[in-house]
């Protein structure tokens, strides 16, 4: 059986962990499996490489930065292949250039266009394991490109989708939990989760899987399972629909996202043109808008929205540039906020979920600043000091 495995940075953080991964792979090979193993860079290597570039330039060339960052995965791929050979496993490592992993789009956030499997298939005829660098590809000009945050997950699931084989994602946790077990000690591990729920949780900050990898898995119905590289504990399967024997929960999981900057602009002229101009400018400046609230009062509009990973000074300049010819408005920025969310496909068919959500927060004295919802998600913006309390209340309310 052919299987794609992916090992994250924590799984290959040092030589002992690389040897541990090699031993795990050896067991699978002895059971008769052929493995395509996708690896991330060791530990914090990517961050260290970015810091090195920063010591030379405050704005390094995107092309050269991708050239630099792509070396991290090549180191871990080669070391893992060497470790496998020491165990007598027939192994070879390859980078994206050698395997024709073709990408398009901008540097540091490229997307996979196609993968040529001929080399993979021919190598696995003579070998048991092919170790592949994750996070990277080659654009039409022949330049190395990186796939952005969670890129190794994307590489692994894309290869599995192309080859029509299962994909196993290994990290330092034993699966997908109702919330981050590092945040709440009573978080419960899920045996199954739907693609839709996982997409929402990933987009809301859950770190086990990146949303782009889940999108690919859903589109091509990839058999996906999340496991720990440090234990033999059973993991979590990501599926199109839950098994019929399993009772569908109303709420599947909850998250906290502290990567939020709240922007409030009061006393704007009460017309949609101003709002349109503000959001066009914000988009042009590449800020990622998340939550939005508009209140109209006495001919004025009061706008509140949040942006992700934002530099307060930069967002201030952007807003001021739009409103420079308008009088009377007030701008405030606040990064002492967090977004707390619950997710569950069961919300579609269950009445009263919103009432339970807001009632439980009200009873706990949590102040709600803004709200956004979808069919399977409720998110609220709260003061950062209330975020942990809000999460615990919701975990208790929905038995997570």
Task: State the binding site.
Answer: 6-9, 46, 73, 177, 207-208
Any residues with CB less than 8 A from the CB of 217 and at least 6 apart, and which? 157, 160, 161, 167, 195, 224, 238
Question: What is the rounded CA–CA span in Å between residue 43 and residue 76?
Answer: 10
Residue among 168, 163, 73 at smallest CA distance from 118: 163
Rounded to a whole number of angstroms, the distance between the first and last alpha carbons of the chain is: 36
129 backbone dihedrals φ, ψ, rounded to 5°? -135, 130
Binding residues for ATP: 6-9, 177, 207-208
Are 37 and 130 spatial neighbours (Cβ–Cβ below 8 Å)?
Answer: yes
Question: What is the rounded CA–CA span in Å between residue 127 and residue 121?
Answer: 10
Binding residues for substrate: 46, 73
Q: How many CB atoms lie within 10 A of CB 140?
A: 9
């Amino acid at each position: 059986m052919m299987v794609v495995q992916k090992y994250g940075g924590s799984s290959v953080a040092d030589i002992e962990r690389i040897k541990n991964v090699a031993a795990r792979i050896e067991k699978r090979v002895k059971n008769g499996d052929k493995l395509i193993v996708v690896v991330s860079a060791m530990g914090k290597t990517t961050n260290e490489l970015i810091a090195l570039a920063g010591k030379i330039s405050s704005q390094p060339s995107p092309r050269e930065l991708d050239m630099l960052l792509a070396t991290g995965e090549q180191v871990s791929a080669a070391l893992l292949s060497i470790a496998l050979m020491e165990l007598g496993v027939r192994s070879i490592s390859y980078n994206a250039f050698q395997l024709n992993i073709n990408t398009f789009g901008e540097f540091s956030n490229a997307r996979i266009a196609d993968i040529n499997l001929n080399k993979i298939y021919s190598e696995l005829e003579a070998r048991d394991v092919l170790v592949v660098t994750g996070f990277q590809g080659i654009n039409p000009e022949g330049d190395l490109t990186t796939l952005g945050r969670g890129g190794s997950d994307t590489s692994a699931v894309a290869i599995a989708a192309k080859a029509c084989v299962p994909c196993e994602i290994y990290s330092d946790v034993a699966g997908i939990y109702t919330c981050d077990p590092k945040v709440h000690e009573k978080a419960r591990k899920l045996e199954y989760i739907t693609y839709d729920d996982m997409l929402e949780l990933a987009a809301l900050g859950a770190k086990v899987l990146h949303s782009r990898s889940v999108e690919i898995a859903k589109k091509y119905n990839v058999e996906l399972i999340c496991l720990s590289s440090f234990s033999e504990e059973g993991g979590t399967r990501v599926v199109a629909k839950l098994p019929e024997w399993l009772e569908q929960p109303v709420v599947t999981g909850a998250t906290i996202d502290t990567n939020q900057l709240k922007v409030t602009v009061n006393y704007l002229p009460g017309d949609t043109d101003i709002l349109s101009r503000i959001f066009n400018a914000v988009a042009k400046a590449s800020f990622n808008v998340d939550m939005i609230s508009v209140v109209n009062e006495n001919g004025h509009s009061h706008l509140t929205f949040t942006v992700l990973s934002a530099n307060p000074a930069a967002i201030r300049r952007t807003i001021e540039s739009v409103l420079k010819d308008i009088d009377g408005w007030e701008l405030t920025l606040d990064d002492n906020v967090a977004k707390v969310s619950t997710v569950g496909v069961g919300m579609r068919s269950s009445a009263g979920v919103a009432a339970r959500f807001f009632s439980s927060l009200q009873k706990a004295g949590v102040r709600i600043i803004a709200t956004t919802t979808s069919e399977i998600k409720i998110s609220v913006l709260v003061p950062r000091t209330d975020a942990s309390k809000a999460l615990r209340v919701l975990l208790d309310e929905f038995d997570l």
